[in-house]
Amino acid sequence: MDSLYLLIPVALLLVALGIKLLLWAIDNGQYEDLDKEAWRILSDDKSPERSDSEAESKTDD
């Protein structure tokens, strides 16, 4: 049980890392629009990435 003295601080470090990542993501604007992301998966026929690259290739022409 003495391992608790090591494992709990390690767990806390991981939590701190997680919080840091979360705050970074929030400040980065990744949670600005919580509604759209739920829909993105439904656009199955054309992913935004693909249509973007298509648009780019058309631009190059």
Partner 1 sequence: MCCPGCQAVAAMIAGSGLDNFYRQRTAYSERPAASETPVREQYLIYDQPELTDAFCQTQEDGSVSARLLLGGITCAACTWLIEQSLASVPGVTEAAVNLQQSRLDIRFDPLVLPLSEIFTRVDALGYRPRPFQASARREQMRAEYRADLRRLGVAGFGMMQVGMFAVALHAGDIQGIQEQYQGLLRSFSLLVSGFIVYYSAGTFFRTAWRHLKQGALVMDLPVALAIGLAWLASAYATVSGSGQVYFDSVVMFTFFLLLGRFLEARVRQRHANNWFDAESALPDAVSLRRDGRWITVPRSQADQGEVMLVQAGQTIPADARVLSGNSAVREDTFNGEHLPRTVSIGDTIYAGTVNVEAALEAEILGSYAQSRLAALQRSVEVAETEKPRLAKMADRIASWFVAGVLLVTSATAIAWWHIAPEQTLWVALSVLVISCPCALALATPAALASAASALRATGVIVRGENALESLSRTTHLIFDKTGTLTEGKLAISRVELLGELTEARALQLAAGLQHWSNHPVSKAFSHIQPGEVFQDVNYKVGAGLQGKLDGRQYRVGSESFCREFCPALPPPPDEQRYWIALCDAQSPLAWIGLDDTLRAEAKAVVRSALTGGLELGLLTGDSSPQGKLLARELGIDDVRTGMEPQQKMQRVQSLQATGAVVCMVGDGLNDAPVLSLADSSFAVAGATDLARTQADFVIVDDVLTRVTDTWQKARDCRRIILQNFAWALGYNLSAIPLAATGHVPPWAAAIGMSLSSLLVVANSLRLNRSPAKEKGL
User: Which residues here bind partner 1, judged by CB under 8 A?
Assistant: 1, 4-5, 8, 11-12, 15, 18-19, 22-23, 26-27, 31-36, 38-40, 42-43, 45-46, 48, 51-52, 54-56, 58-59, 61
The least distance separating partner 1 from the CB of residue 36, rounded to whole angstroms, comes to 5
The least distance separating partner 1 from the CB of residue 30, rounded to whole angstroms, comes to 10
29: left (phi over 0), alpha (psi -120 to 50) or beta: left
What's the Cα-to-Cα distance from 29 to each of 19, 24, 34, rounded to whole Å? 16, 9, 11
